[in-house]
Chain A
Amino acid sequence: MGLVSAVSGNRLPGVLVRRAAQGVGVALVVSALCFVVVRALPGDAAYRIAAGRYGYDLVDAAAADAVRAELGLDRPAWQQYAEWVLALFRLDLGESLVTSRPVVDELGLYLVGTLQLSVLALALAALIGGGLGVVAARRPDGAVDRLVTGWIAAVRALPPFLLGLLLVLLLSIQLGWLPAVGHEGAASIVLPALTLGIGLSGLFARVTRDAVVEVRRSDYVRFAATKGLSGRVVLLRHVLRNTGVVLVPYLGVQAVTLVEGVVVVESLFAWPGLGHALVHAVFWRDVPVLQASALVLALLVVALNTLVDVTVLWLDPRPRGRRAVA
């Protein structure tokens, strides 16, 4: 192997260490924030938890007091937080305050659900957005480019819940092709994934289009053509990878939008995932579940960005982070 592969081999541990440190930092900040926010919410947490356990009709002040005493909710906040962080080091996420089951067990299921949904949504976004971007770039400012710009504006302007409802109206109610909600069979993932994917595809298309236009204008693409390569070969061998160098880091930026979308879309379609769990945990003041699902979502963003970094290292051999003084 030449010098360069040795260099990129050397850069990999640096990236992993940096991202791991970021993961730890994010975990601490996110969990602390959750803690503070839950305490700041109006209403008596013990009362809400008791309601979650026994139902609203059966809750009285005594039940709430019992919950409070059992869970130690009257201790100082920092003690409760410190306890939670210490437990986290033992990989113990505690038990749900509502169901009393270990959070880890519940979360595993939700994580799988969210991963299925996000991977499919990202794949759809890349397929729809990337495809539209490449087509639009064939003739900048042409009719197709303008249509794609219209598409981008439309999907960006639609909030996920509205887009989701529109898709339900069209695909389940009008056409009856897909189930509207739930988690039964492979078909039930299509609507939530489509809602997320279409939402993300707008900016994907924009970035792809601009990157492809720029790469196609580059000297190396022109030179590749005059070497005698056909347009298709130039696209496959040069345009796509160099577009990827621009596009893949963009995926990392989109990760945050994805998580945001996951929360809304999972709730909308009752898809059993982390976002769904998060919303319910907020509602029932189930702090351990809330903390854990926020934590896993945050770490998911870090993991996705790590994946992006590693992919870019593989795609682009040039050293980065060194400021060039031309």
Chain B
Amino acid sequence: MTDEAKPPAAEPERTVPPEKDVAPRPNRPFRIFIEELTTASTFMVTVLAVVLALLVGSILVIISNDSAREAWGYFFAAPLDAFEMSWYAVRDAYVALFQGAIYDPAKPSAWGSISETLTYAAPLTFTGLSVALAFRAGLFNIGAQGQAVFGAIFGVLAGFLLHLPPVLHMLVALVCALIGGALWGFIPGILKAKTGAHEVITTIMLNNIAGIFLIWLVVQKGFQNPERTDAISKSAEENARLPRLLGFLEGDLRVNLAIVLAVLAAAGVSWLLNRSTFGFELRAVGGNPDAAKTAGMNVAMTYALVMAVAGGLAGLGGASMSLGLLPFALTPGVIANIGFDGITVALLGRAKPWGVLAGALLMGGLQAGAVKMNAVGGVPTDMVYVLQALIVIFIAAPALIKTVFRLRDGKASRSTATLAKGW
């Protein structure tokens, strides 16, 4: 808010009179700032969606907290108690959320919480990019989950079937994961290109197939860990695992190379979309496939390629789980829910690569915080899934945010329209 203190900038006189149907646009920095804050810009809608979700979430925290609920039970006997208990419950929950995500004095290392946030954010960045890239081409890739499963499988298989020197083994495993995901993404892409089969339907079904294949695979002889009695595959060799970044610090910090690769991937996708010919074609096809066809672009080929690239990204996301985290092996739930969370992340990031990275960091922070909230206050981890869902609902309904916070019209409604084009 220091903008206000600045001396009024020497602003040139307006030479062009403002158009009648557009509100005059102020050009003093502070006014622009206020303008941004009070307009339903994409940024503000996202921030306010998070704020609103946290507010609604606090009601859930109060309801799920025993002592707060009890205090509301005798509200008329001691009304202050109810408010006090509710305040404590909400405060404790969100303090724990913050501690789990950013900084926790109780952890042996000051980096402990950030490490967790980055650990959760890395795979979400990959799947988020996967979904976002497809969005931009007008495709709705629900299949990031299945593609990530195949990435995880190929990565771990390369991890224990091959025996290679350090670094090389990891690179080979990552390339295998990329290929695995790309293959699983290419199938719906080529089906769409050649037969017009809707990618939403095919990718949902391929998710099921991938999940069931994984469950089947981990209990097969030659794959199942012979020393274990449960559904777990052999572990990837040490050389194939993603190295930890802060392993030298105290406190068993899990953050690994995956987050670095995720940032590189965001940069790569950004370049691909904005600077490459393929990216131009992709956006043209996403904008209007008929026009792109008329302009001489191969729409079918673009669909197939986009899905393969998106699949490859999701595959790397799967590998960052299976090669980056304990037990470095395949289990039926090895990739958790990263494929579906990736859809949320892509929405949060408005299908822009750097936006996806920011969205993934937010989601990663929420998930890391959930662990702490759960351990300290017994707030169920489902709470974070509720928050996540609320954020998506509010982002998908910018009109709601606009009304609640009395914002003026902005670009937000337009960008949602782009996202919805996948249908």
The answer on A and B forming one complex is: no
